[in-house]
Amino acid sequence: MTPETLGMRVSLIPWESLTPNEQRSVSALDISPQQIEYAGTIEHSIELCEASHAGNIVGLAIKHGADVVGFFLLKRRSDAPVWAADRAAVVSAMRVDQSRQGKGLGTAALHALALWVEEYWPESSAIMLSVDEGNGAGIRAYGKAGFQELGIREQGRIGWVRYMTLATPLLSPGPAAP
Confidence of residue 72 (pLDDT cuts 50, 70, 90): very high
Q: List for the chain the helix, strand, coil content (%; round to 5).
A: 35, 30, 35
pTM of the model: 0.86
Instruction: Name the more confident of 8 and 40.
Output: 40
Q: Among residues of the chain, what percentage have pLDDT more than 70?
A: 89
Amino acid 8: pLDDT: 66
Left, alpha or beta for 116 (phi > 0: left; psi -120 to 50: alpha)?
alpha
Q: What three-state secondary structure class fits 114?
A: helix
Radius of gyration of the CA atoms of the chain, in A: 15
pLDDT tens sequence across 90-104? 999 899 998 998 888
Check pLDDT > 80 for residue 171: no
Q: How far apart are CA 25 and CA 82, in angstroms?
A: 32
- The model's pLDDT over 51-62, given as tens digits with 9 standing for 90+, comes to 988 889 999 999
Q: Which of 5-14, 70-79, 121-130, 139-148 has the lowest mean pLDDT?
A: 5-14
Query: Mind listing the domains of the chain with CATH numbers?
Result: 10-166 (3.40.630.30)
Q: Give the CA dihedral 114, 145, 49, 121, nearest 10 degrees.
A: -10
